[in-house]
Amino acid sequence: MKRKIRIALPSKGRLNQPSIQILQEAGINIVRKERTYISKTSDPRFEAIFARAFDVPIYVQYGAGDLGITGHDIILERKADVHELLDLGFGECRLVVAVPENSGIRSIDDIPAVARVATEYPNLCQEYFESVGKQVEVLVVRGTAELAPKLGLAQTIVDITETGETLRRNKLKAVATILNSTCRLACNRIAYRIFESEINELLEKLRNGGTSTK
């Protein structure tokens, strides 16, 4: 008998609820108990595991999860070698370069050649600044990049924004968009071969679930 197919989901944060919901719409109800990281689902062929959204790509690349739901931005940042099977449509956001509103910087060209940039996305940040010919010092922070300018850590940040609300509240403005992202269904390369029919069935249901865009 085949083993269960594991789907890795963001354990908390903005992607958690919509991920659970979209699976529900596709007929997979997750029976999650408090403080457990592996959950049964209403479909005996699948089980759910919960991980940090940032770690989901790694779980999938290494096969700890056969499938995973997480942001396109995160998959790229973690340079994960996975299949992105489906754009799930939700979790829309932009990865932007932001600076203080009162800084006088209007575009990426105004950023000084030796700037310090605080970000949770060191790889994408580095690649972006290299592509525009700027050598910047990238400081990796966890979760609170928008505080960096206030505290004098770095004037520039690279972070995701959905509505721009958090940026505004912190008196920051976006001066460039690095990429647009949505949530994706990622798949381990080997699992896709082994569980092709089951995964395709799920894909079909996710596509017809209403919220998907593709």
Partner 1 sequence: MQTPKGTKDYLPPEAERHRYVEQRLREVFKLWGYQEIRSPAIELVEVLSTGVGSELIDSMFKFQDFDGKIVALRAEMTAPAARIVTTKMLEAPRPIRLFYICNVFRYSQSYLEREREFWQAGVELIGCNTPGADGEVLALLASSLKKLGLEEVRIDVGHAGLLKDLLRATGLDKEKKFVLQNLLGYRDEDQLERFMDQNNFSSQLREAFLRLSRCRRLEELSSVSLEPLKYRRIKDYLRALLEVKDSLVEYGVENLVFFDFSLVRKIEYYTGIVFEASVPNLGLPLGGGGRYDNLIEKFGKVKIPATGFAVEIEKCLRALIAQGFQPLDKRKVKFLVASRFRDSAIKAVEAIRGAGVTALLDVTRDGRKKVLDYAKRSGADFVVFVDSSLEKSATIHDTRLETVTNMTIKAFLQSLEDDQR
Residues at the contact surface with partner 1, assessed by CB under 8 A: 2-3, 58, 60-64, 66, 78-80, 83-85, 123, 188-194, 196, 200, 214
Task: Decide whether 164 or 209 has the Cβ nearer to partner 1.
Answer: 209
Give the nearest distance from C-beta 171 to partner 1 in angstroms: 32
Token pair for residue 203? 């894909």
Task: Decide whether 150 or 189 has the Cβ nearer to partner 1.
Answer: 189
Task: Decide whether 166 or 192 has the Cβ nearer to partner 1.
Answer: 192
DSSP 88-128: ---S-EEEEEEEEGGG---SGGGS-TT-EEEES-HHHHHHH
Q: Strand, helix or coil at 200?
A: helix
Distance CA 149, CA 101 (A): 11
Tell me the H-state helices in 38-195. Answer: 56-61, 72-77, 122-131, 148-151, 165-169, 189-194
Q: Strand, helix or coil at 74?
A: helix
Q: Strand, helix or coil at 69?
A: strand
Give the nearest distance from C-beta 214 to partner 1 in angstroms: 8
Task: Decide whether 57 or 149 has the Cβ nearer to partner 1.
Answer: 57
Give the nearest distance from C-beta 200 to partner 1 in angstroms: 8
Give the nearest distance from C-beta 103 to partner 1 in angstroms: 31
Distance CA 151, CA 147 (A): 6
Give the nearest distance from C-beta 188 to partner 1 in angstroms: 5
* 102 Cβ contact partners less than 8 Å away, ≥ 6 residues apart: 171
Task: Decide whether 4 or 14 has the Cβ nearer to partner 1.
Answer: 4
Task: Decide whether 64 or 108 has the Cβ nearer to partner 1.
Answer: 64
Give the nearest distance from C-beta 72 to partner 1 in angstroms: 13
